[in-house]
């Protein structure tokens, strides 16, 4: 119960746990991967279409955000959202003491409502925003590393090409040195290549 509804074992958390127990069991048994950690969860209604609303749970894990339901109104349904594809989160009022959560996902907007505006929800927002930011930073670092690796390979290919031309007699030793320095200087490095 704590993993999904927080440390406070109040009345509403016990009621929430009993209402969503089958959903939690379904998630743990069939959806959650062995290396995935549940960070926080909230009950929510997913407005899948204008005519189809699904009651279930939004579960933030170490890998993704997942909406899951099992036996609450519409049978089994699961949809996973990659943090990297989440472009933003906004909130709107949804009746008395409730919020509507709007997630810009790729080119679409995912709408969840009937969410209690409580401390669990506020903590849920912090966790999801943190995971979104973390995934963007990791993606940015990966892109930078890939770009640097590609430039490095390109540089070495050019050096190998001019060395081959020198060995074939197309370039003199002096021309080779000039071309080598141009390549090295264009990458901001200065070292010997033999």
The beta strand positions in 31-75, using DSSP E, are: 38-49, 52-61, 65-69
Q: What's the pTM value of the predicted model, to 2 decimals? A: 0.64
| φ, ψ of residue 183 in degrees (nearest 5) | -65, -50
pLDDT in tens, 33-76: 888 998 988 888 888 777 778 888 899 999 999 998 876 555 67
Domain ranges of the chain: 2-142, 144-186
Q: How far apart are CA 112 and CA 8, in angstroms?
A: 24
Q: How far apart are CA 77 and CA 67, in angstroms?
A: 8
Q: How far apart are CA 26 and CA 24, in angstroms?
A: 5
Q: Which CATH number fits domain 2-142: 3.40.50.300, 2.30.29.30, 1.20.58.220, 2.30.30.40?
A: 2.30.29.30
The beta strand positions in 82-183, using DSSP E, are: 86-93, 98-105, 108-116
pLDDT in tens, 109-159: 999 998 888 888 888 999 999 999 998 776 555 555 555 555 555 777 788
- Report pLDDT for 74: 55
């Amino acid at each position: 119960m704590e993993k999904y509804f927080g440390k406070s074992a109040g009345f509403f958390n016990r009621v929430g746990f009993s209402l969503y127990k089958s959903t939690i069991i379904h998630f743990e048994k069939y959806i959650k991967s062995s290396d995935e950690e549940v960070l926080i969860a909230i009950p929510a209604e997913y407005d899948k279409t204008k005519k189809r609303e699904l009651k279930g749970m939004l579960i933030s894990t170490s890998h993704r955000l997942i909406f899951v339901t099992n036996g609450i109104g519409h049978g089994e349904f699961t949809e996973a959202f990659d943090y990297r594809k989440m472009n933003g989160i906004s909130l709107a009022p949804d009746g008395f003491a409730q919020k509507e959560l709007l997630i810009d996902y790729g080119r679409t907007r995912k709408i969840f409502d009937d969410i209690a505006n409580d401390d669990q929800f506020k903590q849920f927002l912090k966790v999801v925003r943190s995971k979104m930011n973390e995934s963007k930073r990791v993606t940015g670092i990966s892109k930078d590393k890939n770009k640097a690796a590609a430039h490095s390979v390109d540089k070495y290919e050019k050096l190998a090409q001019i060395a081959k031309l020198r060995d074939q007699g197309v370039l003199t030793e002096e021309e080779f040195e000039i071309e080598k320095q141009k390549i090295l200087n264009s990458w901001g490095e200065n070292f010997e290549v033999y």
